Amino acid sequence: MKTLPIVARPMLFSTIALSAGFILFVQSEMESQVLFGTFTAFTLLVCLAIDMTFLPSVVMETGLITVWDYVGLKFDEKFIEGIDLFQNMTVREAKIASLMAYTEDLKHGSLLFSQGDIGDEMYVILNGSISIFLEKDGKRTDLVRLKKGNTFGEMGLFRQAERSASAEAAEKTRLLVVNRDCLDPLKKRNPKIAAKLFLNLANRLQSSLKETDERLLTQKDFNLTNLEAKLNEDEKLTAQESSTNPAELWENLGEKWRRKLGSFSETFNVSKGKRLMKIKNNNGDYLFITSGEVEIESIVSAKSEAFSVGYCWTRKGFDLIGEFALCTGNKAATARAIARQDSTLLQFTAKNLLAMAKKESRIAAQFLEDVVCMLSDQLAIADKRLQNH
């Protein structure tokens, strides 16, 4: 819309001048020339009206990317390797993803958002750094300083939740801002790029969830007198903080898409009472339970398992077992997974997810967006549990 006042005057004058020139053909004695001049002048005036009214709204809605926009981005392989959001992307894919979003420049000390604000945007630091801090009773506590390449605010994007802390520019900073208006068109026009973007977000959330769960495990509560109350609180918290229903998301994919998803995963059947020992766990792998019930329980000591349960999570029906990242299967493992009922599990490896993004990009984009939503819920619940301990 800012461009319209600048280009409107030359468009108006040039079109009127051309129309006036063609309308002179009506003075001709040849009927064909009269018709040619009249219809050409009329066509030019109609095009002018469309350019001034309908075209701007179409361009605003579609967000066209020009060659100049594409060439103007100074991206190279070294640059995108340092950006969390652009992992596994080519330079071309990173440019297209960036052009679907927009940038925001901050001066040193500029406040980006405050604790308690409702957020619906995610940020990627292209240059500079951001300080994350808390303020209570007029006292400021700095939590972390995020640098170039870091992503933050994704919980607000997918949950429209309150910001848990404040953020300000620690120096002159340029941010890439991503919201739903950016992601939805990207899914439709470039599902392969969208799938990779969602996969990178899922990997980041998985790492954050693992860190939060590990902090929970260091705050074990062995007081049996309030164990039942703790379990009831956890159930209420889960119901309160869950913004999505994993079973519904799975059903909404449809039978055809679920079959195709199955071809990119490995199925495991685990009997009641058995540990999930045969399922290897690597970063970027995701384990789902499709039926039965699985419990993840913390281990006090790898050598002695006498009264070893300090904290546990239960997953049943269809759900993402986000806590399975804790079950490394080695001596340093902080948790173990046990089937409490005969259970069927699906595992998607990082390699298979990338292959799906290339071969079945639309399915991958939708499925991985659902994974990000599930992880966002689980991370929000874990954060609340940590605060309540």
CATH of the domain at 164: 2.60.120.10
User: How many whole angstroms separate alpha carbon 65 and alpha carbon 62?
Assistant: 9
Torsional sign, CA 92, 93, 94, 99: positive
**In contact, 328 and 336? CB cutoff 8 Å:** no
Please check whether residues 368 and 219 belong to one and the same domain.
yes
**In contact, 195 and 144? CB cutoff 8 Å:** no
Q: What interhelical angle do 227-241 and 361-388 show, nearest 10?
A: 140
Please check whether residues 12 and 86 belong to one and the same domain.
no
pLDDT of residue 213: 87
- Dihedral pair phi/psi, residue 57, rounded to 5°: -70, -35
Asked whether residue 68 carries a pLDDT value surpassing 60, the answer given is no
Centre a 10 Å sphere on the Cβ of residue 355 and count the other Cβ atoms it contains. Answer: 13
Please check whether residues 35 and 89 belong to one and the same domain.
no
Between the CA of residue 86 and those of 76, 77, 253, 354, what are the distances in Å? 11, 10, 26, 13
pLDDT of residue 235: 72
Q: What is the pLDDT of residues 362-383, one digit of tens each?
A: 999 999 999 999 999 998 888 8
Q: What is the pLDDT of residues 158-199, one digit of tens each?
A: 887 788 889 999 999 989 888 888 888 899 989 999 999 999
Please check whether residues 343 and 377 belong to one and the same domain.
yes
**In contact, 242 and 381? CB cutoff 8 Å:** yes
Question: Is 184 a member of any domain?
Answer: no
Asked whether residue 225 carries a pLDDT value surpassing 80, the answer given is no
Q: What is the pLDDT of residues 75-122, one digit of tens each?
A: 778 878 888 888 899 888 888 888 888 888 999 999 999 888 888 888
Per the structure, the complete domain to which residue 363 belongs is given by 190-388
Number of domains into which the chain is organized = 3
pTM here is 0.76
Question: Is 185 a member of any domain?
Answer: no
Asked whether residue 223 carries a pLDDT value surpassing 70, the answer given is no
Please check whether residues 216 and 93 belong to one and the same domain.
no
Tell me which DSSP letter residue 161 carries: P
88: left (phi over 0), alpha (psi -120 to 50) or beta: left
Please check whether residues 381 and 350 belong to one and the same domain.
yes
- Dihedral pair phi/psi, residue 343, rounded to 5°: -130, 150
